[in-house]
Amino acid sequence: MALQNQTHVSEFFLLGLSEEQDQQSLIFGLFLTMYLVTVLGNLLIILTVITDAHLHTPMYFFLTNLSLADIGFSTTTVPKMLANIHANSQTISYAGCLTQVSFFFFFGCLDSLLLAVMAYDRLVAICHPLHYPVIMSPRLCGLLVLLSLLISLLDSQVHCVMVSQLTFCARVHIPHFFCDVPQLIKLACSDTTTFSIVIFLVGTISGFLPISGIVFSYSKIVASILRVPSPGGRVKAFSTCGSHLSVVCLFYGTGLGVYLSSAFSSSPRKDTVVSVMYTVVTPMLNPFIYSLRNRDIKNALCRMIGKVTHSQ
């Protein structure tokens, strides 16, 4: 009898952040503002790096790729939510859900790997400054980004294929504003034991490797800085990786908050609200962190604004 109730659904229902109609306009305005700030802020970082010759270095090459990943990460979830609110709809097609899952893990994994690559870049710059131009050659930088893209693509496709193997019952209501894989697992009618094991292993590997690289890099960086004799030299060395370290703490801090929230909370609605931090807020704050804490970016922005002002 249970098998007769199972079907290949053509669409899912996203319940969003709130089912209260009087709150939809507020949510729409808030998320539209945050999304526009995210896109414009990251595009400004990219434009600044591209147009300023002083920023044509490996560190800012990786930063432009991180900004692109942040735009993609936010674009994967927010526009669909805004479109549903505007159309007073909660549906997302089965193909759209799979596409969202694929891009969500692609850009999320890419963000994580790029942060690890940037940590390695800071390691070479601080621990091997004389050999930095040779080690961080354009060829190596391109290969590191390409490798990050390939690993992220593999991770996203594994999740997409695994989700496509699940069987769902009719009218699947997801208590989230996007197709969240843990929620899809809970709502599946088929056995999810193998799926959960594979997803756990893939997630552990794709998450453990970047974190291990970041921890290793910063342990070497701290050890190297502590050997600097002058306090001024130590402060200057720390300042070169302050922006990156802030972004790392924000990215993994919010991710850990979501994980702990889902582990100790039985309320899907609370999990949804917490997940806003790493899906929307973090990509929005990254440009501000790099522009406010990074002297090179601030100087480049001033030069670019000066050129625009003089041209008028």
Instruction: Kindly report the pTM of this predicted structure.
Output: 0.89
Residues 6+ apart with CB under 8 A from 287: 38, 41, 42, 44, 45, 67, 70
CA 9 from chain centre, in angstroms, equals 29
Q: CA–CA separation, 173 vs 13, rounded Å?
A: 5
User: How high is the pLDDT of residue 262?
Assistant: 59
Distances (CA, A) of 171 to 14, 103, 183, 192: 11, 24, 14, 19
Q: Strand 91-93 to strand 172-174: parallel, antiparallel, or no bridges (unpaired)?
A: unpaired
CB-facing half-sphere around the CA of 145: CA atoms within 13 A = 17
Domain boundaries, the chain: 7-307
**At residue 65, does pLDDT exceed 50?**
yes
pLDDT at position 197 is 84
**Burial status of residue 266 (CB atoms within 10 A of its CB: 0-12, 13-18, 19 or more):** exposed
pLDDT tens per residue, range 78-121: 999 999 998 888 899 999 999 999 999 999 999 999 999 999 99
CA 272 to centroid of chain Cα atoms: 16
Quote the pLDDT of residue 205. 79
Share of the chain above pLDDT 90, in %: 38
34: pLDDT strictly greater than 50: yes
Q: 130 or 23: which carries more pLDDT confidence? A: 130
Count of CB atoms situated within 10 Å of the CB of 210: 23
Model confidence pLDDT, tens digit, residues 137-162: 999 999 999 999 999 999 999 989 98
* pLDDT interval class at 278 (50, 70, 90): confident
Cβ atoms of 118 and 59 closer than 8 Å = yes
Question: What band does 260 get if pLDDT is binned at 50, 70 and 90?
Answer: low
Q: For all residues of the chain together, what is the average pLDDT?
A: 84
Phi-psi category of 178—alpha, beta or left, where left has phi over 0 and alpha has psi -120 to 50?
beta
The predicted-structure confidence for 186-215, as pLDDT tens digits, reads as follows: 888 877 788 878 877 887 777 788 999 999
Please tell me the predicted confidence (pLDDT) of residue 4: 41
DSSP 8-class letter at 188: B
List 12's β-bridge partners, or say none.
Answer: 92, 172
- For the sheet containing 172-174, what is the strand order? 91-93, 11-14, 172-174
Q: Does domain 7-307 fall into CATH 1.10.150.120?
A: no
Per residue in 208-251, pLDDT tens? 889 999 999 999 988 888 887 777 767 776 777 777 888 888 88
pLDDT at 256 over 80: no
